[in-house]
Amino acid sequence: MQLRPKLVTRELTVDGSTLHIFFSAADARTLRAAVGTFYDLLALATRTLEAFGPAQP
């Protein structure tokens, strides 16, 4: 969840196996905070997947 959803927009799209992320913000400080937070969450998700592996069907 973003702290200021009215000041930051984030668009995620997938093209094959590539994830594209587009951020837009009202100012540079807000953009930097939003990208930093997203990066931290992405790193956490990556470490979790590496630790537990993909879901088994």
Give 22: exposed, middle or buried? Use CB within 10 Å, 0-12, 13-18, 19+.
exposed
Six-digit token string for 50: 């590496």
Q: Is residue 1 part of a domain?
A: no
Cα–Cα–Cα angle for 32, 49, 15, nearest 5°? Answer: 65
Judge whether 3 lies within some domain. no
Asked, for residue 14, whether it belongs to a domain, the answer is: yes
Task: Tell me which residue range forms the domain holding 38.
Answer: 8-52
**Domains in the chain: how many in total?**
1
Q: Is residue 29 part of a domain?
A: yes
pLDDT at 27: 92
Which residues pair with residue 20 across a beta bridge? 13
**2 belongs to a structural domain:** no
**Residue 18: what pLDDT?**
95
- 57 assigned to some structural domain: no
- Answer whether residue 16 is part of any domain: yes
Sign (positive/negative) of CA torsion 54, 48, 25, 4? positive
Q: What are 21's strand-pairing partners?
A: 12
In a domain, 27, yes or no: yes
- Structure confidence by residue, pLDDT tens digits, 17-51: 999 999 999 999 999 999 999 999 999 999 998 99
